[in-house]
Amino acid sequence: MAAKWLKDTVFYEIYPQSFKDSNGDGIGDINGIIEKLDYIKGLGCNALWINPCYDSPFKDAGYDVRDYKKVAPRYGTNEDLFRLFEEAHRKGIRVLLDLVPGHTSEEHPWFLESQKAEQNEYSDRYIWTDFCFKGAKGLPYIGGESERSGCYILNFYKCQPALNYGFYRVTEPWQKSFRDPAAMATREAIKDVMRFWLSHGCDGFRVDMAASLVKNDDERKSATSAVWKDVRRMLDLEFPDAAMVAEWSDPPLALRAGYDMDFCLSELGGGYSTLLRDYYNHGGSIHGDRSAEDHSYIKKDAGGNINRFLDQYLAWYEDTKELGYISLLTCNHDTLRPSYNLTPEELKLAYAFLFTLPGVPFLYYGDEIGMKYLDVPTKEGGYFRTGSRTPMQWDSTANHGFSEGKEADLYLPVDTSADAPTVEAQEADRDSLLNTVRAILALRHSEEDLQADADLHIICSDADRPLVYQRGSLLCVLNPTGHRLESILPADIAESLHGEVLLKIGQASAENGRIYAEGQSFAVIR
């Protein structure tokens, strides 16, 4: 079962280099995060996911780790991160770090030793073929750059050699089983990294590319699952309150492998993208092509159908609700911001829906004010993703309050458009997206029936009716279209309904056994 504290948790994802710069060098840092903890708490988020803040050459924005146990100097020191844990805990906020277990930077000391010709304790820490002119048959590899006669396998970019967790199916003499002592040593090394941060106050990890560890694994990822089950046994014994969320996007597999949570995220197709980013399902591009068809369910009169999402989500939910949680998210550092194709009114409805479903939701920094996806040059391997990683927009001062440094020194440019949203402006507007998010999250925290483990029952999902779903004793109603929709409630639900509206966006109500929902409306009714 998942960590108990996740029951009433909402995460806030922070891309540290873009959140708040405390020293004027143009790059966000740990002390900047500490400065904004009260804002995060007031927003309604009581847990953080911080993207990698470890020492790195930053060829892939920190996902190329050079030292797992050292904070990158541009963010501060280890002591700063330890203080963040303490200050966050004092305010009732948990902190997950980003764990990158599948690969390191090519500058990591382990790899520098592994590529030496002379055998040493790190020779098998990575995956090598047995000859400099022998490739890896179906796996990406690099040859000709090492003293050692062999080619090494990559996990993603050229700068990210794959750590050796072994192979499920061994088909070449140079491949080692996932039970081989060398593969087990890699596993223990990652456990050691986890122990280090957990012992200093970290509450767990978001795990990057969680399904990528064991190579030639079957579709059920049985060997990779065995690795994570072993990690979970260590956590249960030594850090039983620690939590992990997988970047796996297959909750039935991830939760059975020992994870507390898995993201419902299938960006290149699938149920999740039909909610907010349906252009992905119609040849649309994560590279910025706005011409594709878009039938996103939340998009006003776009012809979306909620059952495209529910067909996948409900199967996963029923299969895993006793095991852990599915995590829905507004966006993350790898996706286009939802404001790319949705208006502020549509975003209100999207967030109301995401934050009233079961599981543990994640809010990406800036999405609460509708920050835009910007067309900016690539930075640190971001490419199209860079436009979702721009500095947080706090106020109307220079650099939108992100940094007191020079504009030319900023990690990425800020949004300079006249209508660039800011926290300051939206705090003064009672009906702003920011205040709507605060209201939704406050209700989620106050009503146990809206929290992670309360039951979900879909009452109506017909295309020509409002979506009506039940969380415990509460009824949620959503109409993303531009016109009025009605629905008749089942008699037993109608009889138990008091009709008290706890939260409302637009106009929606329940009267005389019927639901009435005006265009672009949402309501939670007791």
3 state DSSP class of 516: strand
- Can you give the pLDDT at residue 495? 87
Pure H helices in 271-361: 273-276, 307-320, 344-354
The predicted-structure confidence for 6-24, as pLDDT tens digits, reads as follows: 999 999 999 999 999 999 9
Q: Are 308 and 297 a contacting pair, CB within 8 Å?
A: yes
| Number of Cβ atoms within 10 Å of the Cβ of 478 | 25
Tokens, residue 222: 């049985």
Four-point Cα dihedral 288, 294, 300, 304, nearest 10: -150
Q: Are 454 and 356 a contacting pair, CB within 8 Å?
A: no
Measuring CA to CA, which residue among 232, 264, 267, 242 is closest to residue 251?
Answer: 264
What is the CA 278 to chain-centroid distance, rounded? 19
Alpha-carbon distance of 96 to 176, in angstroms, equals 32
Measuring CA to CA, which residue among 25, 161, 46 is closest to residue 452?
Answer: 46
Alpha-carbon distance of 72 to 207, in angstroms, equals 19
3 state DSSP class of 196: helix
Q: What one-character DSSP code corresponds to residue 71?
A: E
User: Which value, in Å, is the radius of gyration of the alpha carbons in the chain?
Assistant: 24
How confident is the chain (526 residues) per 10-residue block, as mean pLDDT?
A: 95 98 98 98 98 98 98 98 98 98 98 98 98 94 97 97 97 96 98 98 98 92 96 98 96 97 74 89 63 91 95 95 97 94 98 98 98 96 96 98 97 97 98 98 98 97 96 97 96 88 96 94 97
Residue with tokens 């290149």: 268
Q: Are 468 and 476 a contacting pair, CB within 8 Å?
A: yes
209: left (phi over 0), alpha (psi -120 to 50) or beta: left
The predicted-structure confidence for 236-256, as pLDDT tens digits, reads as follows: 999 999 999 999 999 999 999
CA-to-CA separations, 29 to 75, 82, 310, 376, 402, in angstroms, rounded: 4, 13, 39, 22, 11
Four-point Cα dihedral 226, 232, 233, 234, nearest 10: 120
CA-to-CA separations, 222 to 101, 169, 211, in angstroms, rounded: 17, 11, 10
The predicted-structure confidence for 87-106, as pLDDT tens digits, reads as follows: 999 999 999 999 999 999 99
List, in order of start, the domains of the chain with CATH numbers. 4-100+264-446 (3.20.20.80), 455-525 (2.60.40.1180)
- Please give the backbone phi and psi of residue 111, each rounded to the nearest 5 degrees, phi first: -70, -35
Alpha-carbon distance of 217 to 518, in angstroms, equals 50
Residue with tokens 């260590």: 234
Q: Is the pTM of this model over 0.95?
A: yes
Measuring CA to CA, which residue among 256, 263, 204, 251 is closest to residue 4?
Answer: 204
Measuring CA to CA, which residue among 439, 421, 441, 440 is closest to residue 339?
Answer: 421
The predicted-structure confidence for 29-78, as pLDDT tens digits, reads as follows: 999 999 999 999 999 999 999 999 999 999 999 999 999 999 999 999 99
Three state DSSP letters for 396-451: CCHHHHCCCCCHHHCCCCCCCCCCCCCHHHHHCCCCCHHHHHHHHHHHHHHCHHHC
Q: What is the DSSP string of 472-488?
A: TTEEEEEE-SSS-EEEE
Alpha-carbon distance of 434 to 185, in angstroms, equals 47
The predicted-structure confidence for 363-377, as pLDDT tens digits, reads as follows: 999 999 999 999 999
Alpha-carbon distance of 121 to 188, in angstroms, equals 14
Tokens, residue 36: 């904004």
